[in-house]
Amino acid sequence: MIHQWFTPAQHKHWADWFLKERHRFTITGLSRSGKSMLFTSLMTMLKFRSEGKYDCLPLLEHLPMELVEHIWVEPLDGFKMFPVEAHVEALHQGQWPSPTEDVYGFKLVVRLQQTGKVKKYLLPYTDIMFEFIDYPGEWLTDLPLLNRTFNQWSDSSWAQQMNRPQRDYAHEWHETVESFDFDTAPDEQRVTTLVGSYRRYLQHAKKHGITLLQPGSFLLGDNSYDWQSKGFTPLPSCISSDITNPWTKLFTEHFTHFQTSWLKPLRQQTFRQADKQIILIDLFEGLNHSKHHLYQLKETLSHLAETFRYGEDSWVARHVLRQTTISKVAFVAGKADLIPPGHRDALLSLLKQVTAGAVARFDDNTVQFEHFLVSAIQATDPGSNANSLRYLTADKRYLEAEFEPLPETLAQMSAEEHFPVLPARVPDDYLPRILNGRGLDRLFQFLLGKES
């Protein structure tokens, strides 16, 4: 019987937790931050766990197996099924999952045992659902544009491009604008020229580790916004401030179209309010380039926090006011297997700094947050000393790499310093390496744990 296993305090915890039938997690992550790989690992772990093959998801410490009849994965209404088989097949071929260009979902259902009076009282639901949605990271950075006018966006976009590191990648685009004749009215060809040049800037900057790329949707193919016929670019402020200028008129119209026909439905469908949020962050790309890139990442994350609603997830808010706010946030630095264990404290400290601006937006103290280091797959092996790792290169050589200590603070990093990211290939024994991924247990324990 349940009351023999738990103290009264734990009973309360259980009751709280199961008052909700549906737990919505979002994993919010910039492009290439590791979302698809994390979902792939999670589903693989759950599959092994539910088939009783491997007891690998301590997630379920909060949900003892004795209470669980069955766990399975289902499609999520309105979404294509997350292509876990395709991703696992890619890993099997030694490839990483391909970048996501559309939105996919899945639902994890935990069916509880039906027996026992205590269960009926404590756990009103039979099935508890966890919903997961995977999407291209580029969509995420566009959401803040919902709160801007074209003019505001255009001005802030220029301001960003004038600073390092963006400025370093914007030369061609800036030259195009300088020699462009905005007195001649826009026609299809001239719009295509301008949008084409701006897109090349976005692509070039992305390749060099920039995360604040707006609109990121312009970087994707057919399943994304129709930038070919409804594109826009920032305009020099002398043009954008003149609302009678035909370019300003046209781009304002396209920008509004972007907001209403693309961003609004996207926010409603894909970024439905969840109560628990994992913000997945790749620090390695920034470290690979420069300290300016890390500051730029910090700015991006701070902008993103603007678009989500944070606050206490109270019973009243949920049942009476019918609103959900995010009450728990896990800031997660992924791919932690790419540095030696001895350097992880420094990585955690960098994570805290890079997310400080986002944290500052939780302006009341009802949001619980923590920082975590996680690897969805343990792709590397320990090296011969505390500062080294062994890994498989693209051409399948097994090498040892020595690491310089990471700086503990961004301020300590010199402007020219950078830390090359380990080009680790997917090893043949990817499966046990997924099952032995690090940090997921602590992460889920935090997310599923009692709200204080």
Ligand X SMILES: Nc1nc2c(ncn2[C@@H]2O[C@H](COP(=O)(O)OP(=O)(O)OP(=O)(O)O)[C@@H](O)[C@H]2O)c(=O)[nH]1
Site for ligand X, rule CB under 6 A: 29, 31-37, 96-97, 99-100, 136-137, 334-335, 337-338, 375-377, 379, 424
Least distance to ligand X, CB of residue 347, Å: 13
376 binds, among ligand X, Mg ion, none (CB under 5 to 8 A by kind): ligand X
Least distance to ligand X, CB of residue 87, Å: 8
What lies within 8 Å, CB to CB, of 3 at 6+ separation is: 11, 118
Let me know: does 150 contact 252? Beta carbons within 8 Å. Answer: yes
29 binds, among ligand X, Mg ion, none (CB under 5 to 8 A by kind): ligand X
337 binds, among Mg ion, ligand X, none (CB under 5 to 8 A by kind): ligand X
Place of tokens 């966890």: 130
Least distance to ligand X, CB of residue 70, Å: 28
Least distance to Mg ion, CB of residue 392, Å: 22
In degrees and rounded to multiples of 5, residue 392 shows phi and psi of: -100, 130
Instruction: Tell me the C-alpha to C-alpha distance, in Å, between residue 298 and each of 139, 293, 422.
Output: 18, 9, 22
338 binds, among Mg ion, ligand X, none (CB under 5 to 8 A by kind): ligand X
In angstroms, the CA 70 to CA 50 distance is: 7
31 binds, among ligand X, Mg ion, none (CB under 5 to 8 A by kind): ligand X
Least distance to Mg ion, CB of residue 29, Å: 8
Least distance to ligand X, CB of residue 422, Å: 7
What is 264-321 written as a DSSP string? Answer: HHHHHHTS---SEEEEEE-HHHHHHH-HHHHHHHHHHHHHHHTTS-BS---HHHHHTS
Q: Looking at beta carbons only, is 426 or 448 nearer to Mg ion? A: 426
290 binds, among Mg ion, ligand X, none (CB under 5 to 8 A by kind): none
In angstroms, the CA 37 to CA 335 distance is: 10
Q: Looking at beta carbons only, is 231 or 437 nearer to Mg ion? A: 437
Least distance to ligand X, CB of residue 144, Å: 17
Q: Looking at beta carbons only, is 99 or 405 nearer to Mg ion? A: 99
Strand, helix or coil for residue 369: strand
What is 134-151 written as a DSSP string? Answer: E--HHHHTTGGGGG--HH
Q: Looking at beta carbons only, is 274 or 338 nearer to ligand X? A: 338
Q: Looking at beta carbons only, is 96 or 444 nearer to ligand X? A: 96
Q: Which two tokens stand for residue 232?
A: 């826009």
Least distance to ligand X, CB of residue 194, Å: 26
- Pairing state between β 22-29 and 328-333: unpaired
Sign of the CA dihedral running 273, 102, 28, 364: negative
Q: Looking at beta carbons only, is 191 or 304 nearer to Mg ion? A: 304
Q: Looking at beta carbons only, is 136 or 286 nearer to ligand X? A: 136
The residue length of the chain stands at 452
216 binds, among ligand X, Mg ion, none (CB under 5 to 8 A by kind): none
CA 31 centroid distance within chain: 7
Let me know: does 23 contact 128? Beta carbons within 8 Å. Answer: yes
Q: Looking at beta carbons only, is 87 or 276 nearer to ligand X? A: 87
379 binds, among Mg ion, ligand X, none (CB under 5 to 8 A by kind): ligand X
* Residue 170: closest CA among 227, 122, 117, 212: 212
In angstroms, the CA 234 to CA 155 distance is: 7
Contacts to Mg ion by CB under 5 A = 35-36, 100
